[in-house]
Amino acid sequence: MEKLELVRKWSINTYKCTKQILSEKLGRGSRTVDLELEARIDVLRDNKRKYEQVVKLAQTLANQLTQVMQTQRQLGDAFADLSLKTPELHEEFGYNAETQKLLSKNGETLLGAINFFIASVNTLVDKTIEDTMVNIKQYEAARVEYDAYRTDLEELNLGPRDAATLPKIEQSQIQFQIHREKYEKMRNDVSIKLQFLEENKVKVLHNQLILFHNAIAAYFAGNQQHLEQTLRQFHIKLKMPGADTPSWLEEH
């Protein structure tokens, strides 16, 4: 019997919410709107899409850099081979071989920074922001429920008030109060969550953008020392080519 009662309540709630959603879509029903909160949610959704695009582009950059590094290694090997087999151009080929190998090595370091940037922003988007999006969906569902029971109570109050309808009105008032409290709690929870998310987002992106800028700038300036220092500053593990396990880029 208890299970049947739960099913009955769920069915009634689902019916009321579906009716409310359809009524809103058809322009006949009213919906409760918190303009400030809705604006903050819209900004979050827009930022989430933009961060996802940044990650996608950064991944493309990482893939392209990997291809460039592979070509540089092959070119370095070709120059080194020619240096051994061409005595009259031994030094010239040798310089070019060393340059390509150094570029490839610096590319490995830059790739480590880019991959760390990608992983960190991905965590922000897929875990931190997504966790808040789950709360937003719960808040939006609570809003629909609240408006559904509010509409139900308003319709009953517009009808006759007699011995047959008063118990229904009282019960509707109770349900309305329950769902209003639930909605207000969810609204406050989402507002607080958005504030914490904003603070965390600024902190994470501040560090990651500094890392990305410093690593890119050092790489294209040919400053190997600054590039390696950037990775040490952010405690990034760098997996060297052919190594079974990652090694820390450390100062000894």
Could you list the mean pLDDT of each consecutive 10-residue stretch along the chain, which spans 252 residues? 67 75 76 91 97 97 96 96 94 94 92 94 95 95 90 83 82 90 96 95 93 92 87 74 39 31
Assessment of whether the complete model's pTM goes beyond 0.85: no
Where does 44-241 sit in CATH, by number? Answer: 1.20.1270.60
Tell me the longest C-alpha to C-alpha distance in the chain: 112
CA 25 to chain centre: 29
Report whether 157 contacts 21 (CB < 8 A): no
Q: Which pLDDT score is estimated for 169?
A: 87
Q: Which pLDDT score is estimated for 183?
A: 94
Domain ranges across the chain: 44-241
Q: Which pLDDT score is estimated for 209?
A: 94
CA distance 222 to 94: 19
Q: Which pLDDT score is estimated for 252?
A: 29
CA 64 to chain centre: 23
CA distance 75 to 72: 5
Q: Which pLDDT score is estimated for 19?
A: 75
